[in-house]
Amino acid sequence: MLNVLRTEWLKIRNYPAFWWVMAMTALSYPGINYIWYNIYLEIVQKQSATGKIAKILLGNPFAYPETFHTTAYFSSFFVFIPAIVVIMMITNEYTYKTHRQNIIDGWSRDSFLLGKFFDVVIITMMVTLLYIIIAIVVGIVASGNSTVSMWSQSRYIALFSLQTFSQLSIAFFVGFLVRKSFIALSIFVFYFIIVENLIVGYSKVKLNDIGRFMPLEISDRLVPIPAFVGRLDEKAYKASLDAINLHIFLTFLVIAVVWGLCYYFNRKRDL
């Protein structure tokens, strides 16, 4: 296992596209939070009555402990960026036939798949670490000297990590099945940005929100809308918080199904 992990890390470390895409992630995650934080400041710092009312209603969603929830929600918008590198890494194995070379060198089919699993875990850990740094920095800036109950919502670290791993696993599955980088990327991004959002949006209006059981939406609901938005509809917000435990179970189920299918197809199909 250690040999598999070491080999996969060497592949990642020496893969320039990986670092370029991760650099994009490192810019997009703080960027989206910086934009929303400045929008919030523009609203609440107005000297008009509207600004004062907004400050009372919104509170400070970027201060501790809310920062862990708020930054997790906005950061999750860009999970498709690290998903790109996950797809590229698995499709490159087939493009350059390195998966065959691994088997020739003595790896089993299971070891190859385990290596790809480690890739997704490593990328998830890197993305989660980036999110934690952003949440802490934003929290310090927004909270000033106050760190009361600083970690009381730190559960969103685990929820964000689980959400990221689930969605990167789905991206891996698409690349694993399709094997062609451009086609797999196109399918995933199109589905991520357009198809599932249309289905989920339509189902909320016409189909009793059955779209909540779509593959990506299941893990999306691990991190509900931030509290300051939830105040507009307290009942719906409370319901979204109550549903988190269900979606934790469903997310683990999705992960198990995805990797179970990967294991099955890896065993059955030709190299």
Query: How is residue 59 annotated by DSSP?
Result: -
The three-class DSSP label of residue 139 is helix
| pLDDT at residue 77 in the model | 93
Lookup: tokens for 268: 């059955």
Task: Give the model's pLDDT for residue 44.
Answer: 79
**Which tokens hold the place of 132?**
């934690």
Dihedral angle at the C-alpha atoms of 41, 58, 67, 40, nearest 10 degrees? -20
The ranges of the chain with pLDDT < 50 are none
pLDDT in the model for residue 31: 95
Predicted local confidence at residue 42, as pLDDT: 85
- Please give the structure tokens belonging to residue 21: 């895409």
At 6-41, the pLDDT tens digits run 887 877 888 888 899 899 999 999 999 999 999 888
Whether 130 contacts 71, CB under 8 Å: no
Strands (E), the chain: none
Residue with tokens 């089919």: 109
Residue 130: phi and psi, rounded to 5, are -60, -45
Tell the burial category of 150 from Cβ atoms under 10 Å away from its Cβ (0-12, 13-18, 19+): middle
pLDDT value at residue 145? 66
Distance between CA 35 and CA 161 in Å, rounded? 22
3-state secondary structure of 233: coil
